[in-house]
Structure 1
Amino acid sequence: MTIQTTRLSDPAVRAFVAAVNAHDREAFLALLAPDATMSDDGADRDLDDWIDREIFSSHGRLEVDNESRDGRALVARHRNDTWGEMRTRWAFTVDDDGKITRFETGQA
């Protein structure tokens, strides 16, 4: 059963999912700390390149199936025009200012 985005526990993660699903690059980037990093399937990636390829230019969308770690870990169906739909895991590190400093994703 999908969790509605508005019901996600962590405010930064909730805003991240909302920005992805709205295809709002400006809102998405505003959520990230200036030195934010990310990894995909265990390998660090270039953040700007990855978000363009996997989210914005390919119409990425997240449907969250469950959350843990106070909302900072998700299992979600990630869909985009390049890969179709896949079950993915997401983990977020959020600083004291509510900015995402790192996110890690990969197949679940």
Structure 2
Amino acid sequence: MTEQTIPEPVAAFIDAVNIHDEDAFLGAFTPSGAVDDWGRIFTGREEIKAWSDKEFIGARGTLAVEEVDTTGGTITVIGDWRSNHANGRSKFIFETEGDKLAKMTIREG
């Protein structure tokens, strides 16, 4: 595996997640941003917060990044996800819009 830098705004987002900073986590998304968690779609900060309270920030999740790929406007991060809700190697696919996240898709890594 080659050491790669995680592009912004994804790097700041992962930092916010790993320190459980809910405000920075939610602020990373555009107002109409979305999370696709294995096919379950949460759109807008209110829905994302409700999901995150149970399964992401609220579950004290952390991501140890193992691989990064940037293709076009998509940034894919594969890493070891650990939380009180779920654990395991996961793939996070980020679509950006300016300096915000338009969509985060979570799949099996």
Q: Which runs of 5+ in 2 are unaligned?
A: none
Does structure 1 conserve the Cα–Cα contact (< 8 Å) formed by 2:26 and 2:49? Answer: no
Q: Distance in 2 between matches of 1:56 and 1:43?
A: 17
Question: In the alignment, which residue of structure 2 is the partner of 1:56?
Answer: 57
Q: Which runs of 5+ in 1 are unaligned?
A: none
TM-score scaled by length of structure 2 = 0.83
In the TM superposition, 1:76-95 aligns within 5 A as 76-83=79-86, 85-95=87-97
Q: Supply the AA of the counterpart residue of 2:6.
A: S
CA 9–82 in structure 1, closer or farther in 2 if over 3 Å, else same: closer
TM-score scaled by length of structure 1 = 0.83
Q: CA deviation at 1:32?
A: 1.0
Which structure is higher in strand share?
2
Equivalent of 1:72 in 75, 80, 84: 75
Q: Supply the AA of the counterpart residue of 2:16.
A: A
Report the identity percentage.
25
Which stretches of structure 1, 4 residues or longer, exceed 2 Å deviation after superposition? none
Q: CA deviation at 1:49?
A: 2.0
Matched pairs, number:
102
Q: CA deviation at 1:63?
A: 0.5
Q: Distance in 2 between matches of 1:21 and 1:11?
A: 15
Q: Supply the AA of the counterpart residue of 1:93.
A: E
Q: Distance in 1 between matches of 2:51 and 2:5?
A: 24
SS of 1:68's equivalent in the other structure is: strand
Question: In the alignment, which residue of structure 1 is the partner of 2:5?
Answer: 8
